[in-house]
Structure 1
Amino acid sequence: MVIYDLICDSSHTFEGWFKDASDFESQQSSSMILCPFCDSELVTKKLAAPKLSRKSNSVPQQQQVATGDRTAEAFAQLQDMLGRVHTFIEKNFEDVGNRFAEEALSIHRGEREDENIRGTASVEELKQLAEEGVTSMTLPPKPINKKKLN
């Protein structure tokens, strides 16, 4: 698993989790990575400071620090809310997997019973749905429950 800090052309920063570096490259070249704030497809890896180890007895001359209990609290609340949204959707929407665009169009055209569905779709499929007048929304990934990690 590789975690990248990402940035869109509107300077929104967010985190992306990928199987490996080639998975990121593949998703980026297919315009599958969208900014969760503005849905921009122009997303790149954010430059990050290298992580260097140092001797345990060395003392850094300067260290960048930040404080913000309110920021941490707001982030925790956002993660909790996002987790509840995902739980609601998992309980109340049928998972159609990668057939989402096809199933959504069938519902929109009256070829299938109207019901709540969830699944995955490519950027191109989402554009096609929008052109057809189908209402859909992308969600940020479900937050990871750190209590369940090894």
Structure 2
Amino acid sequence: MKVLDLRCAHGHGFEGWFASEDDYAHQQERGLVECPLCGDKSVHRLPSAPRLNLGATAPAEERRTANPPQPSPEAVTLQNMWVEAVKHVMERTEDVGERFPEEARKMHYGEAESRGIRGQATPEQRAELADEGIDVVTLPVPPSLKGPAH
């Protein structure tokens, strides 16, 4: 089993577990490797050697490429807290899917019992809800939380 350090084009770092180097390459070629946080398929592998021999004689560009900037511990903590907050919301709300605007209106006008809901709405539908005084919040959900765990 190979555990690789990966990063998407948006700077989200994560680990990928693969049967072999070839398995990683094959999945990458087929577009199966994606960021679990944002779904970006533009993922690259980070160097994972414990020590890279790039002394002062190595060109600066080569040193930067071999040692890309790592996210700060604070950024990683915030990323993890955001994922936990999204999980919290998903566990405590009912997914009404595309019926979201209709269900939100029913609750707002007293036609249905008030409860926590989530679902999909177009920008136009969100604007219409706001015009009616119905507050909604857009919450991006990482692809890894949308479906069943792998």
Match of 1:137 in 2: 137
Compute the TM-score of the two structures, normalised by the length of structure 2: 0.51
- The structure whose Rg is larger is 2
Tell me, in whole angstroms, the C-alpha distance in 2 between the residues paired with 1:132 and 1:116. Answer: 19
**Judging changes above 3 Å, is the alpha-carbon distance between structure 1 residues 72 and 140 closer, same or farther for their aligned structure 2 residues?**
farther
Q: What is the DSSP-based 3-state SS (H/G/I as helix, E as strand, rest coil) of the residue aligned with 1:62? A: helix
Counterparts of 1:1-150 in structure 2 under 5 Å?
17=39, 62-63=61-62, 65=64, 71-142=71-142, 144=144
Tell me, in whole angstroms, the C-alpha distance in 2 between the residues paired with 1:82 and 1:99. Answer: 26
Higher relative contact order (CA closer than 8 Å, sequence separation 6+):
2
Letter in 2 for 1:139: L
Q: CA RMSD in A?
A: 3.6
**Aligned-pair distance for 1:142?**
2.5
Tell me, in whole angstroms, the C-alpha distance in 2 between the residues paired with 1:143 and 1:75. Answer: 20
Letter in 1 for 2:85: V
Q: Deviations 1:30-85 (Å, cap 9, x if unpaired)?
A: xxxxxxxxxxxxxxxxxxxxxxxxxxxxx87724737766x431221122111111
Letter in 2 for 1:62: E
Identity %: 32
Q: Which runs of 5+ in 2 are unaligned?
A: 1-7, 11-36, 42-57
Tell me, in whole angstroms, the C-alpha distance in 1 between the residues paired with 2:143 and 2:73. Answer: 15
Runs in 1 of length 4+ with deviation above 4 angstroms?
Answer: 66-69
Compute the TM-score of the two structures, normalised by the length of structure 1: 0.51
Q: Which runs of 5+ in 1 are unaligned?
A: 6-14, 20-58
